[in-house]
Amino acid sequence: MDGEIRIFGGGSMKFSTKAIHVGEEPNYEVNGEVVSPIHLSTTFARRYPEVPTKGYEYTRTSNPTRGALEKKLASLEEGRFGLAFASGLAAETSLLLALLKKGDTILASDDLYGGTRRIFESVIKKFGVDFRTVDFTSTASFETEARSSRIIWVETPSNPLLKIIDIAKLSKMAHENGSLLVVDNTFATPYFQNPLKFGSDVVVHSTTKYISGHSDTLGGGIVTNNDELFEKLKFHQNAVGAVLSPFDSYMTMRGIKTLSVRMREHEKNAMRIAEYLLEKNKVKKVYYPGLEDHFNHEVAKSQMKGYGGIVSFALDLDREGIRRFLRNLKYITLGESLGGVESLIEVPSLMTHASVPREVREQMGIIDNLVRFSVGIEDVDDLIEDLESAFGAI
């Protein structure tokens, strides 16, 4: 593919146009719907026993609404094949079951979402798969490890420290050693970053987050350009059955249509918030890839078109002080997850990464006073006023 999806008889489309139109082309032979309908049927009638109608037989295997979403996800990531799952973790588990066997090794970034780490340590390990972590921002530290790894798994930006990993450099090393590179692109979204263009074999998403964008539907996605990988993943999607429902597929497509608009606003607000936090004496450190002093900022500039909507920061407060700070927020909601239009804030050590042993968290840099802020698209002046009030209360 040349990175541009062609529909409606020809013209090439940019991102915002693809987000609205791909997978939802009007079917003039039926009703000409502008919006792809929700196909709730779990089974599909046949005229002949051996011939599924238009390829559809059972919704776990394939469904027109989910298929429309999968086409849209692939187009946004500039990939050929997309698959949609019941959650981000369902997508990851299906991928791992499809690609790993006893004796294989996963080499993952040290700064990793707690739920993903839990799959690696508590689920996949039971099947004889080894799991190791490494700091991928240091080339020397993983060159040796990479040689024996079936899968190299990274988040960039990472969760929650927003580490930036050079995808092109890592993909070259992975392929030289016969490894597959999987990039979790949830934080950046396909609007700001397309890992497949830099050599990644597979891209995964929690579509629950920015892609859906409204904190009202759960989902996960996988995109690849590799025919063989796709066939394996498609088989396991059907065999395992952790597929996205037609209704959630519709809701996810509905959210995607405003992805570019929302991401521009998320990024604009996040940069203002990051700059504001730099000036607060109760803030010890600010993590945001858009700041020039952020580690690997230059790499971010080279592979991203924007820096996203997540800001993490360390407070110069004890646990009670942090609780007081959080209690005094009005517009910014204390809650897990991220990527919705509303602002959400959390303490990783007590929430999203609580399942990670304390000594491992601290080694990763996830200290007790670290806060992760998913900056929403409210008026940024209101968000700053809210933070100012909370700082005043401590």
Catalytic residue, chosen from 104, 166, 184, 386, is 184
Catalytic residue, chosen from 113, 191, 210, 307, is 113
Query: Which H or E element spans position 270?
Result: helix 259-278
Give yes or no for a contact between 138 and 161, defined as CB atoms under 8 angstroms apart.
no
> What is this structure's pTM?
0.94
Active site residue 60: yes
Catalytic residue, chosen from 60, 118, 285, 324, is 60
Active site residue 209: yes
Please report, for residues 42, 289, 331, 339, 371, the alpha-carbon distance to residue 317 in angstroms, rounded to integers and kept in the order given: 53, 24, 21, 26, 11
Q: Pull the structure tokens for residue 71.
A: 């086409």
Active site residue 327: no
202-206 and 151-155 beta bridge pairing: unpaired
| Separation of alpha carbons 109 and 132, rounded Å | 9
Q: Where are the domains of the chain?
A: 15-256, 259-393
Query: Which H or E element spans position 18?
Result: helix 15-21
Q: Which residue has the tokens 């190299």?
A: 152
| Separation of alpha carbons 191 and 195, rounded Å | 11
Catalytic residue, chosen from 66, 163, 209, 361, is 209
Give yes or no for a contact between 83 and 237, defined as CB atoms under 8 angstroms apart.
yes
Please tell me whether the peptide bond between 160 and the residue prior to it is cis, using omega within 30 degrees of 0.
yes
Class of domain 15-256: alpha beta
Question: How do the pLDDT tens digits run along the chain, 394 residues long?
Answer: 333 344 443 458 999 999 999 999 888 888 888 898 999 999 999 999 999 988 999 999 999 999 999 999 999 999 999 999 999 999 999 999 999 999 999 999 998 998 999 999 999 999 999 999 998 887 666 666 666 799 999 999 999 999 999 999 999 999 999 999 999 999 999 999 999 999 999 999 999 999 999 999 999 999 999 999 999 999 999 999 999 999 999 999 999 999 999 999 999 999 999 999 999 999 999 999 999 999 999 999 999 999 999 999 999 999 999 999 999 999 999 999 999 999 999 999 999 898 888 998 888 889 999 999 999 999 999 999 999 999 999 8
Class of domain 259-393: alpha beta
